[in-house]
Copies of this chain bind each other. A is one copy, B any other.
Amino acid sequence: MDAEFWVYFGTFQWNVPILNSKPESSQVPSSRKPPRPNQRKRPTILDVARRAGVSKSLVSLVIRGDARVSPSNRGAVLEAVAELGYRPNAMARGLVQRRTRMVGVVVSDLSNPFFGDVVSGIQRRARELEYTVLFSTGDRQQDLEVEAIESLLELRVDGLILAGPRIEFETIEGFGRSAPLVVLHRPTADDWSDSVTNDDPKGAQIAVEHCASLGHTRIAHIDGGPGAGAQARREGYEQAMHRLGLERHILVVTGGFTEKPGRRGAQELLSRRPLPTAVFAANDLCALGALNAFEESGLTIPEDISLLGYDNTSVAALRHVSLTSIHQPSVRMGRMAVDRLFERIDKGRTEPRHDVVSPSLVVRDTTGPVPGGGE
C-alpha cells in the first residue's frame, strides 16, 4: 500500500506520495506505462511555419492577431493552419507568458441548483474580460475540494473563485497566498482574499418583517443546522424579532439545508403549542421539506401557516411550488467575483475587499395574512 505523506508548512499544503520499495506494483491500475499516442502527432507552430514558408515567429504573430503582418503572409499562415488542423498549445504559451488568462472556479456542490446562476454570472463576465473559466468540484467532500483547488493551482490559473467552500478557513487563507482568491457565499476577513457574500442577517430580517407586516407574530425559524450560513440567518431572525418586540415569540428548531432536515424541523414545530402562524426556513429545500410535513398533517399553506425560504432557487420559482423566498442576486455576485479577481490580476490591487450585497424579498404563494387575526 502506498503511504501518503502530508507536508504542511505555514499556509501551504501539498501531498507527496511515498512508495515502498516494490516499485510500480501497487500503483495505478496499469497506467504509468508508456502513454500510447492514441492520436497522430499534433502539428506545432514549426510545422505550420515550414508549410507556410515563414519563420515560427511570424506564425506566432499571426496567431495572436498582431497587426504588423503582411496580408500575403497572413493568408499563407492561416491556410497552413487550416490544412494541418493546428491548434495552439496553451501549456507552452502559459509557460513562457507566465499567465494563462484562466480563472479556476471550485463549486462545493454542482448539483445544488443555487450555484447555476452564480456560475452563469461568472462565465459571462469572464468572457467579457477574455478569460477562460475552468470549473472543478469537490463533490461535497472536503478533501476532494482541496484536491480540486490544488489541481487548478498547479495549472497556474491566474485567479481562483471558491463558491461556498466547505473547507477550513486556514486552508482557504493559505490558498489566498498562492493566487488571487475570491470567496463566494462565505465571508472571509483576512488580508489575502476577497469575498462576495449576501447579507444573511438582513435577509432574515426582511423575511421576518414580511411576516409581521401580514399580521403574524408567532414566527418560527427552522435553522440550517451546523452549516456555514446558518448561524447568520438564525441570528438575523432573532434580532429582527427583538426589534419588532416579538422576542417572546422567538422559536428556533434545528433543521438543515436539505429537504429531510426541513421536514423534521417542521414536525418538531408541529408538536409545539400554540402553533406558529409563519415559518421562516433556512433555505428553499428546507422550506420544501417543511411544506411537505405541514401538508401531511392537514394544514394548508398559506391559510394556516405562511412559509418562507431563502436563496430563491429555481425550485422555489416552479409554479407548482411557488415559494416565497429571499433572493440573492446570484448572477451579479458571480460577476462581482470575476471583477474582484480582475482587479487583483490586471490592475494590481492588493488590499483585500469584502463585498456584501443585499438580499430582497420575492413574494409568491406560500405567505399570506395571519389566520383569524393573530395571537
Contact = CB atoms under 8 A, between A and B. Distances in A.
Interface string A1-32: 01001011111101011111111000011110
A110 B134 CA distance: 13
Interface stretch (A153-161, A207-215, A227-235, A353-361): A153-161
Given A92-B95, A318-B259, A85 B10 contact: yes
Nearest to A151: B132
Count the copies.
2
A142 interface: no
A124 B63 CA distance: 37
Contacts of A10: 85
Interface in A66-92: 66-67, 74, 78, 81-83, 85-92
Interface string A335-375: 00000001011111010000000000000000000000000
A38 B113 contact: no
Contact of A119 (B66, B110, B295): B110
A249 interface: no
A204 B215 CA distance: 49
Of A90, A91, A100, A150, which is in contact with the most chain B CB atoms at under 10 Å from its CB? A91
Of A28, A87, A112, A288, which is in contact with the most chain B CB atoms at under 10 Å from its CB? A87
Contacts of A133: 136
A94 interface: yes
Contact of A7 (B7, B18, B81, B263): B81
A187 interface: no
B120 A116 contact: no
Contacts of A35: 97-99, 345-346
A298 to B, nearest CB: 15
User: DSSP majority for the A interface?
Assistant: mixed
Contacts of A345: 35-36, 38
Given A89-B154, A113-B113, A136 B135 contact: yes
Given A110-B119, A137-B135, A315-B318, A14 B151 contact: no
A30 B346 contact: yes
A117 interface: yes
B314 A292 contact: no
A173 interface: no
A251 interface: no
Interface of A: 2, 5, 7-12, 14, 16-23, 28-31, 33, 35-39, 62-63, 65-67, 74, 78, 81-83, 85-92, 94-95, 97-100, 102, 110-113, 115-117, 119-120, 123-124, 127, 129-130, 132-137, 139, 144, 150-151, 153-156, 177-180, 259, 263, 288-289, 291-292, 295, 314-315, 318-321, 342, 344-348, 350
Closest 5 CB pairs of A and B: A111-B116, A9-B82, A135-B135, A17-B65, A90-B154
23 contacts: A2-B65, A12-B87, A16-B62, A18-B65, A19-B65, A21-B67, A31-B129, A33-B346, A35-B99, A35-B346, A36-B348, A38-B350, A87-B154, A87-B178, A91-B91, A92-B95, A95-B95, A110-B115, A111-B120, A134-B136, A135-B137, A259-B319, A318-B321
